Amino acid sequence: MVVVDRPPPPDLGGGVIVRNECSHSEPIDTGRMTFPTCDSGADVKIPLVTEIQRFSLQDGPGFRTTVFLKGCPLRCPWCHNPETQKVGKEYYYNRDRCVSCGRCATVCPTGASQLLDGPGASQVLKLDRSKCINCMRCVAVCLTGSRDSVGMEMTLDEILREVLSDEPFYRNSGGGVTISGGDPLFHPAFTLELARKIKERGVHVAIETSCFPKKWATIQPLLKLVDLFIVDLKSLNRKKHEETVGWPLQPILDNIEHLIQAKANIRIHIPVIPGFNDSPMDFEDYIAYLGRHAAQLDGVDILNYHVYGEGKYRSLGRENEYQYFGVEENPPEKVVPLAKGLKLAGITSVTIGGLVGITADRHKSSRDAGTGCIA
């Protein structure tokens, strides 16, 4: 075990950081640091953080700070946080900020960034992502913010310092910290440790997860540390779930049952996606299933599909993966029958939420921004 000389900050009790891999953490292709305090006594890798969003009002009770971890095994084709799906570093290329200065082309080792002749005597920057090796050299030299890296390397102490800086707001508003992503259960050992450290300060902890097929043994240790499990239920139709989300539904339902049995505090999120789960039959399935568990649920938040992720797919050069360009958002009244049905089925707290869990949008959808930023 190689011990890295990193003194803990005086007030947080952060540990010595060691470079050693936890035998039970998820295999991830990044994570420069590890620390030695997960339950097994082994060390865990720290995932990249895409953003720490403060004063969030919609991903749990009160004022919250949400930590977005990078890495998710699912690929929901409507996902508004595509930058959190891959575990490794990426970069945005915001074409509307590019002045074709060519600095990136000068340092690019593969020719992915090239200055080409444009109209008249001008030159135009062309980015060919198929040649890109994500070395991030262009990000380092770009002066306009056109290249913008996604994924911060942070130590546990740095994350804690950031999320605990708003402790008074949490206390006064009944808020706390939400661990989201990506998916926090993709990094179970790290999530456990982060939750433990936050809990030690008496701060409310929520996790926002798809509860994707994870062994219950992995989720179970979180019970004593997590005050609220916000579980996303993308469809109750087994075929559609498997075909579209890429994972079977049953293990997710099993985990929800386990959480219920363990008397965990659970809110269910339902993203209502046009053409996927917005038919009367889909609504009936949700109402029947969740109605059966009404007494054990804290509530249900209905998240009407929105298009705020569009611009990010473009800026990441992943527009081919997004199948919802041009798909209109549902009018709010579309989800009212679902909300009413859930209330009638006995769910006491039903909300029609909006931007739950979305990260700050520097990459507004071209529909909103009126720009076409195509890499």
Ligand X SMILES: C[S@@+](CC[C@H](N)C(=O)[O-])C[C@H]1O[C@@H](n2cnc3c(N)ncnc32)[C@H](O)[C@@H]1O
- 242, 248 Cβ separation under 8 angstroms: yes
Per CB under 6 A, contacts with ligand X among 130-159 are none
The residue (of 158 and 278) whose beta carbon lies closer to ligand X is 278
User: From the list 17, 125, 185, 300, which residue makes contact with ligand SF4 (rule: CB under 6 A)?
Assistant: 125
Contact between 196 and 160 (Cβ < 8 Å)? no
- Binding segment toward ligand SF4, per CB under 6 A, in 12-20, 68-76, 276-284, 331-339: 68-76
Instruction: In angstroms, give the least distance from the CB of 266 to ligand X.
Output: 13
Binding map of ligand X across residues 195-224, x = CB under 6 A, - = no contact? -------------xxx--------------
Q: Using an 8 Å Cβ cutoff, are 259 and 266 in contact?
A: yes
How far the first Cα of the chain sits from its last, in Å, is 43
DSSP string, 296-327: G-SEEEEEE---TTHHHHHHTT-GGG---TTP
Closest CB 111 distance from ligand X, rounded Å: 34
Binding part of the chain for ligand SF4, among 29-37, 79-87, 256-264, 310-318 by CB under 6 A, reads 79-87
Helix 156-164 to helix 188-200 angle (10° resolution) is 40
Among residues 85, 191, 304, 366, the one that binds ligand SF4 under rule CB under 6 A? 85
DSSP H/E element including 245: none
Q: Considering the complex, what minimum distance in angstroms separates the CB of residue 309 from ligand SF4? A: 9
Q: Does 301 bind ligand SF4 (CB under 6 A)?
A: no
Contacts of residue 293, Cβ cutoff 8 Å, sequence gap at least 6: 256, 260
With CB under 6 A as the rule, give the number of residues binding ligand SF4. Answer: 38
Find the part of the chain contacting ligand SF4 (CB under 6 A) among 61-69, 126-134, 153-161, 364-372: 126-134
Distance between CA atoms of residues 157 and 6, nearest Å: 10
The span of 2-10, 129-137, 194-202, 250-258 binding ligand SF4 (CB under 6 A) equals 129-137
Least distance CB 182 / ligand X (angstroms): 6
Per partner kind, with CB cut-offs from 5 to 8 A, the member of ligand X, ligand SF4, none near residue 208 is ligand X
Which residues are CB-contacts of 103 (< 8 A; sequence separation ≥ 6)? 138, 141, 142, 143
Cα–Cα distances in angstroms (integers) from residue 135 to residues 83, 139, 152, 332, 341, in the given order: 17, 9, 15, 43, 51
Could you tell me the two tokens for 208?
């926002």
**Residue choice 210, 244, 255, 315 for contact with ligand SF4 (CB under 6 A):** 210
Measured CA to CA in angstroms, residue 103 lies from 99, 140, 160 at distances of: 10, 10, 36
- b/e per residue, 94-121, with b = 16+ CB within 10 A? bbeebebbbbbbeebeeebbbbeeeeee
- Tokens 């209330």, residue? 343
Site track for ligand X across 267-306, x = CB under 6 A = --x-x-------------------------------x-xx
Residue 227, helix vs strand vs coil: coil
How many CA atoms lie less than 13 Å away from 282 in the CB half-sphere? 21
Closer to ligand SF4 by Cβ: residue 35 or 308: 308
Regarding 81 and contact with ligand SF4 (CB under 6 A), the answer is yes
Does the protein bind ligand SF4 through residue 183 (CB under 6 A)?
yes
**Binding track over 325-364 against ligand X, x by CB under 6 A:** -------------------------------xx-------
- Closest CB 280 distance from ligand SF4, rounded Å: 24
Q: Which of 136, 115, 140, 137 is nearest to 125 (CA)?
A: 115
Q: Which of residues 91-120 bind ligand SF4 (CB under 6 A)?
A: 98-104, 107-110, 112-113
Written as six digits, the tokens of 265 are 């505090």
Contact by Cβ (8 Å): 354, 303: yes
> Footprint of ligand SF4 on residues 247-286 (CB under 6 A)?
none
Binding residues for ligand SF4, rule: CB under 6 A, are 72, 74-76, 79, 81, 84-85, 98-104, 107-110, 112-113, 125, 132-138, 141-142, 144, 146-147, 181-183, 210
Binding residues for ligand X, rule: CB under 6 A, are 72, 78-81, 180-181, 183, 208-210, 232, 269, 271, 303, 305-306, 309, 356-357
